Structure 1
Amino acid sequence: MQNDIVSRYYDVLNEVKNGAPAEWNNVIALCEAVPKSIDIDKFWTHGRDKPCWSNIRVPVGERIASDLNRSKDFNSFNLIASDAWEIVMLARGPKWKSNPNFKVVGDSANKFLLSLSRGGLASYKWRLYAIRQYALSLGNEDGVLPMVRSVIERPHSLTSENIYTWSKRFAEKAGAGWGATTVNHLLTDLGLSVKPDLHLRRSAVRLGLLQSIPSNLPVEEIDKNSAKLDQMVVPAVINMALRVTPTASPTSTNAIREVDKVLMEWSRMGFLRAL
């Protein structure tokens, strides 16, 4: 059964490689960008932009994330955690993400936002707030710091069985604007997990990775049951990836980053079908 699934993955890989060569080049670039070793700065540099991509289309996420390049302060989580970048959320509730719900207190944060054009972070202050919350948490023993330290010291402590629960706990400590999917996005760039988005979810089902879910389940049903399926998708895809020999970057420690991107593109490029 497992060998059949891995064989089907290679069919998918070849379909993406031959049918979408530009996207295959992106797979190679992403795999080669996975760090060979992990430290606290890697957790920051690979995680600082992740709130920019939350619940939004890829082109818009790219536009928002590009604004981070306009300040060198984002190279340091200690600088973003400083008073110069203070942003206050005024109230919680259904409309907490609205721009008027945030008071920009720090001089650096205020100057940065004023320098931006509409459509980027200036239009989504909650995303900048989430980035700063992560910076604060990353340097706090009551925040994500102990969890990060644990992964750095014992990288194999993260397993396919516990990683989704770990991600939910990490999100709670990282602060508002963080969820399990956003954390898994961070871990994906570190080569440790996969991001359970719409496309990965659909591809996992069509590949037959979820034993209790039929591979021909209608897309509408897959999308409607995202919360239920994501907890199954993450460990299932990781387990398969650990059986795959890296192709995009043969020197990679594992194929997790490759598998995530290949399955995402297989769906996004319109190749999706039950295998």
Structure 2
Amino acid sequence: MTSLRTYRGRFAPSPTGPLHFGSLVTALASYLEAKSRQGLWFIRIEDLDPLREPPEATGEILHSLETHHLFPDAPVLFQSRRHEAYHSVIDYLSGIGRAYRCSCSRKQLQANHGRHPLRCRDVSSTTSTQPYAMRFALTDEECHWQDQLLGPQHQTVRAEIHDPVIMRKEGFFAYQLAVVVDDIEQGITDVVRGSDLLDMTAQQLQIYRALGATPPNWLHIPVIVNDQGQKLSKQNRAPALDNQAPVENLFAALTALNQQPPQPLLTGSAADLLKWACTHWNRGAVHLTSR
């Protein structure tokens, strides 16, 4: 049965540095998937970790997206302005027994094969005065779901061992919580993201269910890698996009997505190239290669 919901997609970069080619490929894929289905496309800045975020990075990312004519259909959402919403959700999850304080260190968890030596999931252990993170309490599950590109997926979720952090000991909110809360807030129906996030999907499905929300459809695209086979990322010193060459960058991203853009598009404008790409977008052809 075909859903009658209006397609609502998004691109959600973390502002730890300027936009690079790998991020452009993901942004473009999510944009084209939305626009080819007469949907809406949003930009969300995942600025949850100020210790890793240069103050100029957000402006650089938004400028690059604008230069490449990737314009959102609503004002940009900033996670740094959503702390009250995240606190409310954690309080709710705690109240229904789906979130708990965890004072265990990584070393302790590793030594105990993921089990909590401090018995953190036991309510009686939350009286500790030690610094603590908040974790989501998973239930054991053999999770099956359908990826829009990769097909049927199966992931095993184990309670306690796989419980994700939703607020760090430093007080920063974690990706696993914020991404779900904000996708619900923005009414996101479909998510296009890199396959490096594939393993998080089953955990996120349980958070959606705990919040009584309908999860989005997911489409995971293979990540762009460098000559050493590493994912292009700011950590691996991926070079920033040249904002003076938006047409060339978009053409290269389309090529990486195996969309086979015709050469004459290189002599046109970014707007013309995107118009062609929206009309000819074929997600089934996606096959990423190194650049």
Instruction: Using structure 2 for the length normalisation, give the TM-score.
Output: 0.30
The structure in which a higher percent of residues are helix is 1
Instruction: Using structure 1 for the length normalisation, give the TM-score.
Output: 0.31
Task: Please tell me whether Structure 1 or Structure 2 has the larger radius of gyration of its CA atoms.
Answer: 2
